[in-house]
């Protein structure tokens, strides 16, 4: 007996509504803490935000990785156990009510229902039976008819499966929690790809290392457009190609909120930028001796071209978007913006050095004739762009979506639907018949009373 008493007390504790509310209160408070406190940040960041004492408390209580802490996982486990126990406790009773929905109760049971009306009637013929079938069918679906000992009983119902709303809701919550736990086996990271570059690894978000994709991703091209008379980007698009086992499997243009998805991995367009090393394409206008006019050439930074009219080889060694000199008079770029573009040119004739000079786009004559016998001017520069990709793999996302859909269905069923049952019993009573119209609803009883009154008006008149 003591063992049974202990098990009964434990079972009652597991199905307790108080336990549910207490757990929800704790989980809500934990989620608020997890929102306020940055997750998986460096200790110095917590010290800067909250001070040394609070930062130590955050680390000790695992608030820095709250959703992965043992105590939060424990709370979630107890909450799941509470949901399962409550579901098992209610399921048999609900199942019995579903299976007994079409029973034909006796007159005493019908008279005891909250909605019941008993009236005498002169006769009950086929025409009246057809009218009952038609009216009940229009309101609740085709009725079931049972004839016994001279009595005719009609039964109709609607919303029987709304009683399972609790089951849908509980199952949905378990699916969402399970999907969230499965998400911990995924990863979040970042990729930075230059045009023409490919990679098969992702830098993890928490800076713990790299994640191998199992395939390569190549950036074919990147394009960004800006609002007129503004430096704000209007849209930026990356053309990406998935390469697996040496073959191109998939190519797609992605933009913000339109990711590429492959093998359950999502590649989102998140940022972009220019190559800080100054790589790109320089357009030069060259006046060569003995030629009638200038010609335009386009060169990649780090490449060279042979000038056909003289046979000289012109090298583009370096490009600085914002030229400046440091304390040791060494060239460097003060920013990635084209504030003072400059290119370092070098020319050779027959393998011998001819000249080396920095050429400035905004000050083409700054160094005079150091490029003699040529006159060279920078006309354009297209920087080498990179695309920043947010990479996410969440194996539980499908489970979460299924849970969300099931949760919406369960909440709709629980709050807006009700199981409504109506019986109409016709039994001999002297020279005539006695009509009994009865009904009940498990929810929204006030609305059902109005509905029942209107139905009686159509059936009994």
Q: How far apart are CA 327 and CA 344, in angstroms?
A: 20
- Are 107 and 137 in a shared domain? yes
The residue from 49, 70, 96 where one domain ends is 96
Q: Tell if the pTM clears 0.75, that is, is over it.
A: no
Whichever domain contains 119, its CATH number is 3.30.310
Which of 31-35, 111-115, 279-283, 451-455 is the least confident region? 279-283
Do both 90 and 129 map to the same domain?
no
Residue 412 covered by a domain: no
Has residue 175 been placed in a domain?
no
Both 321 and 195 in one domain: the answer is no
On whether both 398 and 252 belong to a single domain, the answer is: yes
From 70-74, 82-86, 272-276, 297-301, the region with the lowest mean pLDDT: 272-276
Residues 268 and 395 in one domain: yes
Residue 413: inside a domain: no
Tell whether 284 and 271 lie within a shared domain. no
Task: For residue range 129-147, list pLDDT tens digits in order.
Answer: 999 999 999 999 999 999 8
Residue 319, domain extent: 280-383
Number of domains in the chain: 4
Helix axes 70-99, 2-14, angle to 10 degrees: 100
Domain membership flag for residue 166: no
Q: Could you tell me if 330 and 391 lie in one domain?
A: no
pLDDT at residue 445 in the model: 92
372 pLDDT band, cuts 50/70/90, is: confident
Residues 6+ apart with CB under 8 A from 282: 298, 299, 300, 301, 316, 319, 343, 378, 380, 381
- Kindly state whether residue 303 falls inside one of the protein's structural domains: yes
Burial 26-56 (b: 16+ CB within 10 A, else e): eeeebeeebeebeeebeeeebeeeeeeeebe
Is residue 271 located within the same domain as residue 342?
no
If asked whether residues 269 and 392 sit together in one domain, one would say: yes
pLDDT tens-digit series, residues 143-188 = 999 988 889 999 999 988 888 888 999 999 999 999 988 888 888 8
Mean pLDDT throughout 354-372? 80
pLDDT grade for 100, boundaries at 50, 70 and 90: low
- Residues 6 or more apart from 95 whose CB is under 8 A from it? none
Within this chain, do residues 366 and 285 fall inside the same structural domain, yes or no?
A: yes
**Can you give the pLDDT at residue 336?**
78
**Residue 395 CA to chain centroid, in angstroms?**
12
Spatial separation of the C-alpha atoms in residues 88 and 86, rounded to whole Å: 6
78 shares a domain with 13: yes
Share of the chain above pLDDT 90, in %: 41
């Amino acid at each position: 007996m003591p063992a049974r008493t202990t098990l009964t007390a434990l079972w009652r504790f597991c199905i307790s509504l108080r336990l549910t509310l207490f757990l929800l209160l704790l989980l809500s408070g934990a989620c608020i803490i997890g929102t306020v406190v940055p997750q998986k940040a460096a200790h110095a960041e917590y010290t800067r935000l909250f001070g040394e004492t609070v930062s130590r408390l955050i680390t000790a209580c695992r608030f820095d990785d709250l959703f992965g802490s043992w105590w939060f996982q424990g709370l979630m486990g107890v909450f799941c156990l509470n949901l399962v126990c409550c579901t098992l406790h209610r399921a048999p009773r609900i199942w019995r009510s579903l299976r007994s929905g079409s029973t034909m109760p006796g007159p005493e049971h019908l008279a005891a229902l909250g909605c019941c009306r008993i009236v005498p009637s002169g006769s009950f013929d086929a025409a009246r039976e057809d009218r009952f079938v038609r009216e009940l069918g229009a309101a609740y679906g085709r009725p079931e008819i049972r004839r016994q000992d001279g009595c005719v009983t009609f039964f109709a119902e609607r919303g029987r499966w709304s009683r399972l709303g609790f089951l849908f809701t509980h199952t949905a919550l378990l699916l969402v929690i399970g999907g969230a736990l499965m998400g911990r086996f995924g990863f979040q990271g970042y990729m930075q790809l230059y045009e023409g570059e490919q990679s098969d690894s992702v830098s993890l978000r928490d800076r713990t290392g790299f994640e191998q994709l199992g395939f390569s991703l190549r950036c074919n091209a990147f394009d960004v457009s800006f609002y007129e008379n503004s430096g704000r980007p209007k849209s930026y698009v990356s053309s990406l190609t998935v390469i697996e086992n040496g073959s191109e499997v998939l190519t797609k243009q992605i933009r913000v909120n339109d990711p590429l998805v492959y093998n359950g991995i999502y590649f989102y367009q998140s940022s972009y930028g220019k190559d800080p090393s100054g790589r790109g394409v320089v357009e030069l206008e060259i006046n060569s001796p003995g030629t009638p006019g200038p010609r335009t050439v386009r060169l990649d930074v780090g490449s060279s071209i042979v000038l056909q009219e003289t046979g000289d080889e012109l090298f583009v060694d370096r490009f600085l978007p914002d030229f400046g000199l440091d304390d040791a008079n060494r060239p460097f770029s003060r920013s990635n913006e084209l504030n003072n573009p400059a290119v370092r040119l070098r020319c050779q004739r027959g393998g011998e050095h001819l000249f080396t000079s920095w050429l400035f786009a905004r000050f083409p004559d700054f160094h005079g004739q150091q490029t003699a016998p040529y006159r060279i001017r920078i006309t354009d520069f297209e920087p080498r762009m990179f695309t920043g990709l947010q990479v996410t793999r969440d194996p539980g996302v499908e489970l979460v979506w299924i849970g969300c859909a099931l949760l919406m269905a369960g909440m709709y069923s629980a709050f807006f639907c009700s199981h409504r049952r109506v019986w109409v019993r016709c039994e001999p009573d002297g020279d005539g018949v006695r009509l009994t119209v009865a009904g009940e609803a498990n929810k929204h009883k006030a609305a059902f009373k109005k509905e029942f009154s209107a139905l009686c008006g159509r059936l009994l008149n």
